[in-house]
Amino acid sequence: MTPPRTTTPTQNQNYKRKYLPEDADQAIVQTPYGRGLVVRTRRADNIKEIQLLEWESFAKKVSSPPPEPFMLYTPVEYPSVTPHIGDDVICQYGRGRITAISIVDMSPDKENKDCDKNSNTNTSSNDNGATPTQSPLKSSEPPQKSKPTPNQKPILKYTIALTSWRLSQTRKPIHVHLITPPPRVVRKHTLNEMDAHSRVSFAQHQKTLANAQFSKQKDYALALITYAGAVDAVRNVQHDHSSNNYVRADLVVVMVTCSNNAGMCCVHLKKWEEGRKFAQNALILLDALYQKRGRNIHGILNGEGLIDAKLFGEWRVKSYFIVGRCCLEKGEEDVASGVLKKGLEVGKVYLEEMGTEGCKCKSNLEKASYKSLLGQVKEIRKLMAECVERK
C-alpha cells in the first residue's frame, strides 16, 4: 500500500528539534495502516504525530523490518476507532469511561402509541347528547413499522461516566447519554497520570479482582500481587481538587482492607515478615483514624454501615491476629503473645459494649460484628495457647 504524500509513515529519526509536549488526551484513531495513537499535535502546522500500533502486519512484508515503531505525520483528521464498553473517551462534556452501549429504537411505534393515547382523550360531544365523535388526529390505519435497510447502520446511544469533573461532596459519578457525535476513544491514563479519585477507583477495582482470586480461586499468590498492587496505587497519593472527604474515606477503607487481606495471603504462603508488615500498616491507619473519631471521614464511614465495632473492632483484631501469627512462626513467642493480648483486649471491649450474646445490638450490622468478633476472639485464644506451648 503506497501512502499519500501528505501522510507518509517514517521510522523515528534521531535528530534534534524543539521539544513539544504530548497531547493530554491521546486519541486512538483508525489509519490506512491500522490503529494509531496520536502522540502530539503541532499547533504551528496542525501536523499530527501518530504512532502506528499495528504496523507489524505491514512490516512483515518487508525483508528487514525496523526495530522501532513507525510514525505517521499527517494533517488528516482520521476517525476514532470504534468505542467499546470500558474504553476511555472524550466527548463534548469532558473525559469519561463508557459504561453501556445500546441501540436507539427509531421505529415510530412509540410515537404513534402516544398519539393514539392523546387522541382517545381528545373527544367532544354536542349539546343534544350525541355520541362523541372520534378525533381526526387518530389514524384509522395501524402504524407501519419502519424496516431498516440492509446498509443502514443502527443508531447507538453511549452511556459515559465522566471522570474529568464531579459533583462536590459525593462519590457518585455523573453519567451522560450521547447519540451524536459519538465519543472519541483515547489512551487510558497510566497510574502516574491519574488524579486521587481515579487512583482510589483503580485500587477498588483491584481489590474486587483480588477478593475473587482469594475466596473463589484460592490463588493466594496471585491475590497477594493484586492486593499489593492496590495498596501501592494509593500509598503515596497526592490529594488534589478531586479529593473530597468521600474520596479520603474510600482511601482509608481500601488501604486497610487490602493491607489486611494481603497479610492473610502471606500467612497462607508462609511469608511471615511480609505479612507482618502489611498488618502493621493497617494498624497504623486504623490508629490514626481512631484518633480522629467524630470527624468528617469517621462520620462518613459510620453513615455507610462501617460501624466502630467493624472499623476498630473486627479490622484491628484481624491485624493483631496476622502480626501475632507471623511473629509466632518466626520464633518470636514473647512478641507474638503481647500482640495477641492487645487484640484480645480490643475484641473484648466491643463484645462487652454489645452485651451478652449481642443483647444490646440495635441493628443487623451490630449483630454481624458481634458474631464475627466472637470467632476472632476464639482464634486469638487458640493462638495464645500455642504461644504458651512453644515457650
pLDDT by residue (tens digit) across 248-260?
A: 999 999 999 999 9
pLDDT, position 130: 39
At residue 333, the 3 state secondary structure works out as helix
pLDDT, position 147: 55
Cα–Cα distances (Å) from 337 to 261, 264, 328, 332, 340, in that order, read 22, 19, 8, 9, 5
Strand order in the sheet with 156-162: 175-178, 156-162, 94-103, 88-91, 184-185
pLDDT, position 237: 82
pLDDT, position 68: 63
Residue 50 has pLDDT above 70, yes or no: yes
Residue 275 has pLDDT above 70, yes or no: yes
In DSSP terms, 73 is beta-bridged to: 8, 49
pLDDT, position 124: 40
pLDDT, position 6: 46
Nearest by Cα to 367 from 304, 305, 293, 303: 305
Residue 270 has pLDDT above 80, yes or no: yes
Element (H, E) at 285: helix 272-291
d(CA 163, CA 175): 10
DSSP 173: P
d(CA 209, CA 203): 10
Residues 256, 354, 318, CA angle at the centre, nearest 5°? 25
The mean pLDDT value for 12-41 works out to 80
Residue 58 has pLDDT above 80, yes or no: no
* pLDDT tens figures, 340-381: 999 999 999 999 988 776 677 778 999 999 999 999 999 999
* pLDDT tens figures, 126-175: 444 433 444 344 444 554 545 556 667 789 999 999 988 777 666 678 89
Say if CB 333 and CB 387 are below 8 A apart: yes
Percent of the chain with pLDDT over 90: 62
Residue 99 has pLDDT above 70, yes or no: yes
C-alpha cell at 264: 492473610
Strand order in the sheet with 48-52: 8-11, 70-74, 48-52, 34-41, 28-31
Nearest by Cα to 248 from 293, 208, 200: 200
Q: Identify the residue with better confidence: 89 or 113.
A: 89
First vs last C-alpha separation in the chain = 78
Residue 15 has pLDDT above 70, yes or no: no
Q: Which of 84-93, 132-141, 179-188, 259-268 has the lowest mean pLDDT?
A: 132-141
Q: How confident is the model at residue 4 (pLDDT cuts 50, 70, 90)?
A: very low
d(CA 80, CA 89): 10
Say if CB 100 and CB 156 are below 8 A apart: no
pTM over 0.85: no
Across the chain, mean pLDDT equals 84
d(CA 173, CA 74): 37
C-alpha cell at 183: 465519543
Cα–Cα distances (Å) from 367 to 185, 293, 353, 371, in that order, read 48, 22, 12, 6
How many residues can be counted in the chain?
391
Residue 272 has pLDDT above 90, yes or no: yes
Omega before residue 181 within 30° of 0, cis: yes
Nearest by Cα to 86 from 205, 261, 191: 205
The mean pLDDT value for 317-343 works out to 96
Q: How confident is the model at residue 65 (pLDDT cuts 50, 70, 90)?
A: low
The conformational region for residue 169 under phi > 0 = left, psi -120 to 50 = alpha, else beta, is: left
| Cβ partners under 8 Å of residue 171, min gap 6 | 244, 246, 247, 250
In DSSP terms, 91 is beta-bridged to: 94
Q: Which of 8-17, 38-47, 222-231, 298-307 has the lowest mean pLDDT?
A: 8-17
At residue 361, the 3 state secondary structure works out as coil
Percent of the chain with pLDDT over 70: 77
pLDDT, position 61: 59
pLDDT, position 197: 87
Q: Identify the residue with better confidence: 126 or 296.
A: 296
At residue 50, the 3 state secondary structure works out as strand
The mean pLDDT value for 212-224 works out to 96
Helices 245-269 and 220-235, interaxial angle, to 10°? 150
